Amino acid sequence: MKNLIKYLVRRGESYVWDEVIVFDKNNLEGETEVRAVVEDGGSIKLKGKILIQKDAVGANAFLRFKVLLLGKTSRAQVDPELEILTNDVRASHAASVGQIDEEQLFYLMSRGINKKDSIKLIVEAFLS
Amino acid sequence: MPEDNVFKAKRGLDESVVTTISQIKDEPKWMLDNRILAYKKFLDMKMPSWGADLSGIDFANIFYYVKASQKTEKSWDDVPADIKTTYDRLGIPEAEKEYLGGVKAQYESEVVYGSLMKKFSDQGIIFCGMDEALAKYPDLVQEYFGKLIPMGDNKFAALNTAVWSGGSFIYVPKNVKVDMPLQAYFRINSANMGQFERTLMIIDEGAFVHYVEGCTAPIYSTDSLHSAVVEIFVKKGGRCRYTTIQNWSTNVYNLVTKRAKVEEDGVMEWVDGNLGSKTTMKYPSVVLVGNRAHGEILSVAVAGKGQHQDAGGKCIHLAPNTTSRIISKSISMKGGRASYRGMIMMAPGAKNARSKVVCDALILDKKSRSDTYPVNKINESEVTLEHEATVSKIGEEQIFYLMSRGFTDHEAEAMIINGFIEPIVKELPMEYSVELNRLINLQMEGSVG
Amino acid sequence: MMEIKNLVVKIEKKIILNNINLSINSGEVVAVMGPNGSGKSTLAYALAGHPKYEISGNLKLDGEKIDDKSPDLRANMGLFLANQYPVAIPGLGINSFLWQVYKKREKKLMSLVDFRKHVIELAKSLNLNLDLLNRSLNDGFSGGEKKKMEILQMLVSSPKYIILDEIDSGLDVDALKVIALTVAKFALKNKVGVLVITHYNRILKYLKADRVVILEKGNIIKIGNNKLAEEIEEAGYGEI
């Protein structure tokens, strides 16, 4: 089961994603990814817990947060949590927060695309 | 000086206990006033609403001050059998066993240590007990004491500020690099293993010191609450590494507040090993206040039967170009619980700050538990943060691979676990890393089933 | 001799290998070839004692029954498996690991210092980058480096019987030649029985097989010599 949640946070907007994903004997596989692009003046809080119950033998769980901060006053808080109550499982999470990759920007601009449009393309790719 | 006989039998805490502690130590008035204020704060403050279960702490039933000599009123027979067995298995010499078991107050290596102390004082290095520092260098202590961890920081910081006794004081002058690790273990008096140690370290510009405390062998303590405070000030271009291996007996609540403030181009490294205690709450922190300051927290935690290790680290980036790294490795077995709790905070203005956090956890059996609770607050846009965590059991393919090379399943497990914690163990002084591996292997015996 | 009699291998009740009979003598090289899904790797794992397979039949090493023995006991008897996908064990230093593997089998030990020198010479003979010896086992290694690391382990573990599970897959021409010649020379000198499992003929150009066995859908369908391997090279498995 794969879930992809996307946010495009504009100036003045503030979003919170706060979920608990429970794994038990009836739900053993799951991958959730939340991607957010935060414009100048926007903020996002991503809080997610993977909870693997005692009877979730063989569970395979993954949670990822990826945040792209576009503007000087973009803000983010990412809190990926894990609570694992049995051992025969694989659970992992990852979170990354950063800005636009300079190399990607340069590459697109060197193909004749102006900065504004290049950023737009990168953001679209990030959220696709 | 008032008689301290009154303390022999007295449990619990009130203002008269605090006052008498200060008077027995003959402290300057500012410290007495500080203690009283802190005691009042302690009464006011609430227990933390997060973290491990601390409901078992019986504040009224604790001795808050015990004179050194009283601690030896214990015989070898009182030391629990499993601790004695561990000492045997680790090959610890007789004299050391008695010291660790709390039967003896002094360790013979004092004679060896005397000459080292002369060498240090020639270089202008101050390394003494906190009590002694307050008496000999009161201005220096007053300048820094409580400035990084104020009494209101949390309930246990308030408690420590009220009743602290013992701990280490270190001052390293500009550009002096202490060429050997300073080990609290050898600066022996039982104040080192005190319940409410207060440690203060000042590393002046360009200086370096590596301080090591604790030991891998289990330390039997009848005190059920250990609440220490460690404040470290790393000045411009200075570097400090603080290594702790904690293995308190499993009746102890170990609640420690440790924080370092790092100025421009300074480096702070916390190496933290949590093996013992019933419950540990400890999150070594670095506050990066200067340009290009760097902080590292390397943490290894082993949670066995009946234990909860709630540990991790905090990095607060307040300046540009600061970097931090947290590596946490935990193992839970036989019903133990290991929790990573961490915080990365990037304040506005911390341009080009970078942080990386890696938490790996091994759960060896289905009775045990592992958690990760990271908080990452990013209030500056031009930064990079990466965080990853993985929890799993020991891989079957890895076990098969090693068995196909002739190792038994127990040997294979031990090799895999030693490999798992290797990135942290390799940062420990040699004798610790050897002991640590052996200790974990001992703990695992019987855990395969 | 490594004897395989009436071997049936199942995984989760499904039959992968059906009534395999094969023996490999000391000093003999036997190649097992076949298309994908024929059960070649399963044979390697079953012989080494991988717990995920259910087996019935008779397996013997030098007359001693091994079918109920755990993988370490089989290794202690002189069986070495070179894995197709060697697993990584982060933090396990290679130098100390090799020393431990060596000690498990060798009765008369050389000194640790001499052993280290010996390992360096062996690594050089395999054209293995010496820096790798200071790393963790297979951690971040390329496919070719991992295969060479398997052979390096083989060279210090005094084996009597070697199973090479598709050691040639993912190897460049030079690496393949070095590994194949190393195994051939080692096997000849020490009278080691070799079971080389492969999809292609290439490795058999350097490691000459005394017998070639073709496996298809879990059954041995043909036995021959090197010429058989050459025919497959030319015409593929379909023609057999």
The per-residue pLDDT for range B241-256, each reduced to its tens digit, is 999 988 888 888 999 9
Quickly list H helices, A1-127. 102-109, 115-126
When pLDDT is cut at 50, 70 and 90, the band that residue A94 belongs to is: very high
At A89, the pLDDT band (50, 70, 90 cuts) reads: very high
Look up residue B59 and give its amino acid: F
Task: State the Cα angle at B239 between A98 and B315, rounded to 5°.
Answer: 35
* A107 min Cα distance to partner chain B (Å): 20
pLDDT at B103: 54
Between residues 125 and 144 of chain C, which touch chain B (CB distance below 8 Å)? 136-137
The yes-or-no verdict on residue B73 having pLDDT over 60 is: no
Mean pLDDT of C171-191: 94
- The CA distances from residue B192 to A73, B122, B148, C83, C89, in Å, are 48, 24, 22, 52, 39
In a domain, A108, yes or no: no
- pLDDT tier, B189 (very low <50, low <70, confident <90, very high otherwise): very low
Q: List B309's β-bridge partners, or say none.
A: B280, B338
Task: Give, in degrees to the nearest 5, the angle at Cα B293 between B289 and B297.
Answer: 100
Mean pLDDT on B74-95? 70
Grade residue B113 by pLDDT with cuts at 50, 70 and 90.
Answer: low
d(CA B362, CA B309): 13
More confident site: B35 or B61: B35
Among C69, C89, C157, the strongest candidate for a mutation testing the B interface, having the largest count of B CBs within 10 A, is: C89
Task: Mutation target for C interface from B362, B398, B403: give the one with most C CBs within 10 A.
Answer: B403
Farthest-apart Cα atoms in chain C, separation: 54
**Percentage above 90 pLDDT, chain B:** 59
User: What is the Cα–Cα distance from C177 to C171, expressed in whole angstroms?
Assistant: 9
Given this model, what pLDDT does residue B109 score? 41
**Given a cut of 90, is residue B179 above it in pLDDT?**
no
Q: Which residues of C touch B415 (CB under 8 A)?
A: 89, 92, 97
Q: φ and ψ at C28, to 5 degrees? A: -100, 150
B-chain CB neighbours of C51 within 8 Å are 396, 400
CA quadruple B104, B105, B108, B112: dihedral, nearest 10: 160
Count other C-beta atoms under 10 Å from residue A36's C-beta: 27
Number of domains in chain C: 1
Q: Output the pLDDT for position B274.
A: 93
B247 within 8 A of B275, measured Cβ to Cβ: yes
* B405 in contact with C, Cβ within 8 Å: yes
- Decide: B155 and B215 in contact? Cβ < 8 Å: no
CB contact under 8 A, B422 and C76: no
Q: Which residue has the higher pLDDT, B101 or B19?
A: B19
Query: For residue A20, what are the domain limits?
Result: 2-100
Residue B447 has pLDDT above 80, yes or no: no
Nearest to B371 among A57, A70, A83 (CB): A83
Q: Output the six-digit token pair for B443.
A: 């703990």
Name the band, by pLDDT with cuts 50, 70 and 90, for residue B56.
Answer: confident
Q: Which residues contact A89 (CB under 8 A, 6 or more apart)?
A: A23, A52, A56, A57, A58, A59, A60, A61, B363, B391, B392, B393
Rg (C-alpha) for chain A, rounded Å, is: 17
Chains touching A (3+ CB pairs < 8 Å): B
Buried-exposed string C136-161: b where 16+ CB fall within 10 A, e elsewhere: bbbeebeebbbbbbbbbbbbbbbbbb
Q: Give the torsion through C-alpha atoms of B304, B309, B312, B314, to 10 deg.
A: -170
- A44 inside 8 A of chain B by CB: no
Contact C60, C160 (CB under 8 A): no
Q: Provide the token pair at C46.
A: 């079953």
B188 has a pLDDT exceeding 50: no
| B381–A75 CB contact, under 8 Å | yes
**B398 chain-C contacts, CB cut-off 8 A:** 87, 89
Distance between CA atoms of residues B255 and B53, nearest Å: 12
Q: Which two tokens stand for residue C101?
A: 């593997």
What's the structural domain count of chain A? 1
Contacts of A88 in chain B (CB under 8 A): 366, 393
Residue C154 or residue B91, greater confidence: C154
pLDDT tens digit string along B214-236?
766 667 676 778 899 999 999 99
Phi first, then psi, for residue B244 (nearest 5°) are: -130, 130
Confidence (pLDDT) at B91:
67
> Would you call C86 an interface residue with chain B, using a CB distance cutoff of 8 Å?
yes
Mean pLDDT calculated for residue range B103-132: 69
Q: How far, in Å, CA of B31 to CA of B22, rounded?
A: 8
Q: List, for residues C132-147, the tens digit of each pLDDT value.
A: 999 999 999 999 999 9
Q: Which of B373, B376, B381 sits opposite A95 (nearest CB)?
A: B376
Give the residue-averaged pLDDT of B192-199: 75
Smallest CA-to-CA distance from A8 within A31, A39, A33 is with A39
Task: Identify the weakest region by mean pLDDT among A110-124, C14-28, C117-131.
Answer: A110-124
For B369, phi and psi rounded to 5 degrees? -140, 150
- Choice among B171-180, B195-204, B374-383, B426-435 with the minimum mean pLDDT: B426-435
Q: Is the dihedral of CA B435, B440, B443, B449 positive or negative?
A: negative
Pairing relationship of beta strands B323-332 and B308-317 according to DSSP bridges: unpaired
Q: Rounded to an integer, what distance in angstroms lies between the CA atom of residue C119 and that of residue A95?
A: 42
Q: Which residues contact C231 (CB under 8 A, 6 or more apart)?
A: C239, C240
d(CA B268, CA C84): 44
> Radius of gyration of chain B from Cα atoms?
22
Q: Is B344 on the interface with A (CB under 8 A)?
A: no
The residue in chain B having the minimum alpha-carbon distance to the alpha carbon of residue A90 is B392
Put simply, whether A57 touches B (Cβ < 8 Å) is: yes
Contacts of C74 in chain B (CB under 8 A): 404
Among residues B171, B159, B204, the alpha carbon closest in space to that of B45 is found at: B159
Residue B4: its pLDDT value, please?
A: 42
Instruction: Name the more confident of A48 and B445.
Output: A48
Which residues of chain A neighbour B376 with C-beta distances below 8 Å?
76-79, 95, 97
Around Cβ B314, how many Cβ atoms within 10 Å? 21
Do C58 and C91 contact (CB within 8 A), yes or no? no
* CA of B220 vs chain A CAs: smallest distance (Å): 30
The closest of A87, A92, A90, A68 to A78, measured between CA atoms, is A68
Mean pLDDT of A4-19: 94
Closest CA to C148 of C169, C114, C121, C175: C175
pLDDT value of residue C1: 94
C-beta neighbour count of C106 within 10 angstroms: 13
Which domain CATH number covers C21? 3.40.50.300
Q: Containing domain of residue C160, as a range?
A: 2-239
Indicate whether A76 belongs to any domain. Answer: yes
Across the interface, do A92 and B373 touch by the CB < 8 Å criterion?
Answer: no
Contacts of B372 in chain A (CB under 8 A): 80-82, 93
Side chain identity at residue B107, one-letter code: Y
* B378/A76 Cβ within 8 A: yes
Residues B200 and B144 sit within 8 Å (Cβ to Cβ): yes
Judged by phi (left if over 0) then psi (alpha if -120 to 50, else beta), residue B163 lies in alpha
User: What's the average model confidence in pLDDT over B113-134?
Assistant: 82
Mutation target to probe the B interface, by most B beta carbons within 10 A, among A97, A99, A102 is A97
Look up the pTM and report it. 0.84
Q: Does C120 touch chain B (CB under 8 A)?
A: no
Q: Are B228 and B198 in contact (CB under 8 A)?
A: yes
Report how far apart, in Å, the C-alpha atoms of C18 and of each of B304, C5, C9, C34 are.
46, 11, 7, 14
Is residue B3's pLDDT more than 50?
no
Residue B319: burial class (beta carbons within 10 Å; 0-12, 13-18, 19+): buried
Interstrand relation of C89-93 and C136-137 (parallel, antiparallel or unpaired): antiparallel
Lowest mean pLDDT across B3-7, C37-41, C173-177, C212-216: B3-7
Q: Are B286 and B257 in contact (CB under 8 A)?
A: no
* Top-confidence residue, B190 or B278: B278
Residues in Cβ contact with B411 at an 8 Å cutoff, skipping those fewer than 6 apart: B402, C72
